[in-house]
Structure 1
Amino acid sequence: MDRVVSFTTDYGLTDGFVAACHGVIARLAPTVRVIDVTHLVPPGDVRRGATVLAQTVPYLPGGGVHLAVVDPGVGTARRGVALATPGGLLVGPDNGLLCDAADALGGVRAAVELTDPAWLATRVSATFHGRDVFAPVAARLATGAPMAQAGPAIDPGTLVRLPDPVVESTPDGFVAEVLTVDHFGNVQVAASADLLAPLPGRLHLRPQDTESVRVAVHGRTFGDAPVGGLVAHADSAGLVALSVNGGRAVDLLGVAPGRLLRVWAAPADEVPRATRP
């Protein structure tokens, strides 16, 4: 039976890039089902792509092929790779995009560099490896072709990994790096929800390099804060997220991925309001 292919990119939806890759897969593997994860990763944002991929693959069909292309180094010396894990295969650039997802699927058991011309397009564009390298490989893997035929084995220990995001416990809370901001303006930070669990019902939030302190409810869901107010909660990925009931936390906090956010206990009588300075 053919495997499902998931597809994650920063290609956007205004050009034909996604369709071209779908077309390559359909030509080589016409019975394979493709699940589009997203094509709206911010251009070149490898961290965002890696985070979305890692948080999504555990919920996709087991044993699938996960094609991901966020590739600002396309055409350079960076490697194209395929990775085997207990939960499926991953295909894409060796720039840190794939490793978190590989860990979520049980860890890399084998890896190859994509160098066999027979697995690639007849002519490979220097700027569109998604179409000419990664999509053909994903299609062939989805039909059961052995990964070892795609190119020479490489040491999984040599794969490029993104730096670990900053997470530091403090006596009264924690400091954590902003990982992502979703479509709704919710701010996800790198801290595990376990760090939030012992904190009281009122919290202070301060973005890095500012004196601006916001007050948030420690809640379970958005409605635990008053309308327009902030709530800190465990999100669906088991991480700490900041949301606004009826609004956008990213706008209220003025943060972006990579920035640090300090979270600590606030006095019990502090009232969470969106307008608080």
Structure 2
Amino acid sequence: MPIHCVSFTTDYGLSDGFVAACHGVIARIAPSVRVIDVSHEIPPQQVRTGAEVLAQTAPYLPESVHLAVVDPGVGTARRGVVVVTDRGMLVGPDNGLLIPAAETLSGVIAAYELAAPEYRLPVTSSTFHGRDVFAPAAAHLALGVPPEEFGPRVDDLVRLPDPFVAVFPGKLVAEVLTVDHFGNVQLAASPADLELAGLAGTVSVSSEHVLVKALVGDTFGTVPPGRNVLYTDSAGRLAVAVNGGSASAVLGLGPAQECTITSSPTAT
């Protein structure tokens, strides 16, 4: 059955024509399909960040073919795949990018390698599979081409390792998953991890070189402007924010770095 939406997530940025070229390929193959841009500002080559952004967005979109390209291995032996779920399909590189979103869409039912030449552009660049392989595949899937027509079944999809979280009495260490446009720092940890560590009230939040106080609260306005808050974000993850500022800038934190939360703060 046709699917009327394609969602699109990349690390391409918007200063070049890469996103437009992919839009154009989809429009030429499936002109009636709506494309919803999730983000094209994923930090370059940050596969986990792309996976988290897509996973946190996909459940709120209409049934779609989810096209995602964060692909540092483009042109190598890594496979391109279509992943099938009960609530849509996902297209992109087999590097772990697609699996978290698939799991939010009821789980992986099947996956197939993008091998059939008739569903890609006639000339394929070794450095732009988003345009030449993945965008055409997404468009053909949206038109109703069965996923099994694209190539052999894949039963060994690449999965990302679990993000790092360590819980101790009075201490929580967690990997940074994403940093949003406002500089809010999303951690891999959950409110349950914070409770298990016995942390509440005012805590210390630190990166490798910076330590600040933060109040455990519900939202940014829990603290005065310029102050730090540790809260549960809209995806159910712990996050650090500065009311009216950037926690990422204050702490010097970005994706894949570690953040430590402890009791007994000693710095402002």
TM-score by length of 2: 0.94
| d(CA) in 2 for partners of 1:78, 1:87 | 25
1:5-24 paired onto structure 2 within 5 Å = 5-24=6-25
CA separation in 1, counterparts of 2:93 and 2:102? 13
Q: Corresponding residue for 1:82?
A: 82
State how 1:170-249 maps to structure 2 within 5 Å: 170-197=168-195, 199-208=199-208, 210=209, 212-249=210-247
Q: Which amino acid aligns with 1:120?
A: R
Match of 1:191, SS state, is: coil
Counterpart residue type for residue 94 of structure 1: D
Distance in 2 of aligned mates of 1:43 and 1:200:
35
1:245-256 matches, within 5 Å, as 245-256=243-254
SS of 1:257's equivalent? coil
What's the counterpart of residue 122 of structure 2?
122
Does the alignment pair 1:147 with 2:137? no
For residues 22 and 102 of structure 1, what CA distance do their matches in structure 2 show?
23
Q: Partners of 2:169 and 2:194 in 1: how far apart?
A: 12
Check whether the contact 1:173–1:195 (CA below 8 A) recurs between aligned residues. no
- Residue aligned with 2:42, SS: coil
Greater CA deviation, 130-139 or 158-167? 158-167
Deviation at 1:81, TM superposition (A): 0.4
* Counterpart position of 1:38: 39
Residues 34-62 of structure 1: CA deviation (Å, up to 9, x unaligned):
00111111222212111111111111113
- Deviation sequence 1:188-243 (CA, Å, 0-9, x none): 110012223563211111224x4x43110110000111221100000000000000
1:174, distance to aligned residue in structure 2 (A): 1.4
Q: Which amino acid aligns with 1:39?
A: H
Q: Report the counterpart of residue 260 of structure 1 in structure 2.
A: 258
- Amino acid in the other structure paired with 1:60: L
Q: In the alignment, which residue of structure 2 is the partner of 1:132?
A: 132
Q: How does 1:46-85 map to 2 (within 5 A)?
A: 46-62=47-63, 64-85=64-85
Q: Percent identity?
A: 58
Aligned residues: 265
Question: How big is the shift at 1:3?
Answer: 2.5
Secondary structure of 2:38 counterpart: strand
2:4·2:32 contact (CA, 8 Å) conserved in 1? no
Gaps (5+ residues) in structure 1? 271-275
Contact 2:207/2:253, CA 8 A, preserved across alignment = yes
**1:43 to 1:213, Cα distance in 2 relative to 1, 3 A:** closer
Structure 2 portions without partners, runs of 5+: none
Counterpart code for 1:79? R
Runs of 4+ aligned structure 1 residues displaced above 6 Å come to none
TM-score by length of 1: 0.91
Q: CA RMSD in A?
A: 1.5
In 2, Cα distance between equivalents of 1:128 and 1:177: 30
